[in-house]
Structure 1
């Protein structure tokens, strides 16, 4: 069921957005060569505890995963793009790391993701990250009253198509509110003018994720981590936004 939020509820959701954004900024600053993915997860866990927030991932057990996720942070490295389960891996120079984080603050959820390169970055990796960020900006710009979900999807997919990338639509954006994943789904490619009409009060996560050489996924033995089928590099950017009469509000806007 699609739920629309009042202006007051959207204002209440800002605290969750600010916490998720600040946590990702802190994680980005801490991620470095030699840092273990489990250390990053433990750090995020501590920030959740200090804030009095709740993790959206810890006990999450959807149909597409294998049992409860068990961690508070998704850490996807290099060819991993989504749902990367933290494990004992120390980051190497040049690793492309995606951090995906969602939390509940005072009953409201926000969800966001960033991709960064640890240490020495190749221009190809930086360009892939920039493409996801450009697609995210395009999707947000299309999130206005009078448009439809397909307009957001088309805006995202057009950025990928212009760069010669194929888009996987098995996983994409989604409604956000009292829970992390809700309706409507927001695919990363689609036809303009199609789908659910965007209305004031709609809160969604928009999350373009691209793979350099394929649109096919494979699943790790952990039952969660999704990787590019051909081993090519991947990147992922995500914001939680609200559709308002004055245009989209990015609840997880990153400062600095």
Structure 2
């Protein structure tokens, strides 16, 4: 795990509340399924683990709720299926124990304004924002990718369930009714799975990978140093992937003065 365990009032911690709210937005009440052995972590990337109420009875019920959950009248989650030909999605669940579900992002487009600036005018937490690299209009846009996604895992016995929020949602609803994976899969794999989960690199040392936040053009390292718990110095050294801008070192100071 990447963060510490919450030791008091776990259901009132922001991690539990944020996960519960995202499920509530899909008409799923988390409290209906959480039984014993609830563990809540300080980081939403680690999320929560728990045992289902009456595990043998609730596995199919929880699976059905996730399968039938809807956003904008479309499926809210995609799971690995038998004989699934969507091999990239199946690979994204390769490390998931038991039944795996990933939340699907649906870019929101206003019916009144068919420009990229109309994207993400919705107010819920489950709407993906499009970045300018994928903007469907001529000229510059001001939209940045800012999507997060639930990842749920239910083991077949119901004795161990886990739910966390991936920092980079990469499963997008496609036009054919299935899903597509966007380039944020690169950051998810390298940073969230390898860097943080497997290698457990300490906080304050971040891997910079091509992503929407840097127009898929930087790779390198960033470090953060805290000063008196109020100020943070960030230093980054990264190189351009394709724009020919070369390598650069940047530093910033953030805090209250």
TM-score over 0.5 (shorter chain): no
Higher relative contact order (CA 8 A, sep 6+): 1
Q: Rg: which structure is higher?
A: 2
TM-score, structure 2 normalization: 0.29
TM-score, structure 1 normalization: 0.29
